[in-house]
């Protein structure tokens, strides 16, 4: 899995790791963190990255990984879990909806495009945790925001 992240980051050490780990099997990558303000009820778990290798998709791995991240966020006292997903990635959007996530807001031009294509919008999707008894954290914003407006 480290190969996936290093190649994603474009680091020169990828060649070394690729040759050293040629026989390793990378089924998935998951990365998350806790962030935000407790005082403003914004303390939450954030899914930084989630990917499952194509040959291991549709086996429930992503759902299980999300469940684990949610459990950790609950233990850390989070109000919600959030993630960003490309608007065009309807397979992922639908999966997250099935897992109880909803679109909190649209972030305009969040993902940088390559080779002259326009930048792509993202959905900021959220799922309230038990600490958010009134579900305030998932009330959708009525308007899109820009990346620089995200705290």
Q: Where are the domains of the chain?
A: 33-149
Are 83 and 50 in contact by the 8 Å Cβ rule? The answer is yes
CA distance 67 to 50: 12
Residue 1: strand, helix, or coil: coil
Residues 6+ apart with CB under 8 A from 113: 119, 120
CA distances, 26 to each of 5, 101, 106, 122 (Å): 11, 26, 32, 27
Report residue 86's pLDDT band, with 50, 70 and 90 as the boundaries: very high
Residues in the chain: 151
**Span 33-149 CATH architecture:** 3-Layer(aba) Sandwich (3.40)
Residue 41 has pLDDT above 60, yes or no: yes
Question: Over the stretch 52-70, which tens digit does the pLDDT of each residue have?
Answer: 989 889 999 999 999 999 9
**The residue to which tokens 């684990």 are assigned:** 68
Provide the terminal-to-terminal Cα distance of the chain, rounded to the nearest Å: 29
- What is the residue-averaged pLDDT of the chain? 86
Whether the predicted model's global pTM rises above the 0.85 cut:
no
């Amino acid at each position: 899995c480290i190969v996936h992240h290093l190649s994603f980051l474009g680091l020169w050490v990828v060649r070394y790791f690729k040759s050293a780990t040629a026989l390793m099997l990378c089924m998935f990558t998951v990365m998350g963190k806790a962030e935000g303000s407790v005082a403003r009820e914004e303390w939450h778990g954030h899914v930084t990255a989630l990917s499952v290798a194509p040959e291991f998709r549709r086996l429930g791995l992503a759902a299980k990984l999300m469940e684990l991240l949610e459990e950790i966020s609950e233990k850390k006292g989070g109000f919600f879990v959030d993630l960003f997903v490309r608007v065009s990635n309807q397979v992922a959007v639908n999966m997250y909806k099935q897992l109880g996530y909803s679109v909190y807001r649209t972030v305009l031009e969040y993902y940088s495009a390559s080779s002259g294509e326009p930048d792509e919008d993202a959905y900021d999707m959220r799922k309230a945790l038990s600490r958010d008894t009134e579900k305030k954290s998932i009330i959708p914003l009525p308007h899109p925001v820009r990346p620089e407006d995200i705290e």
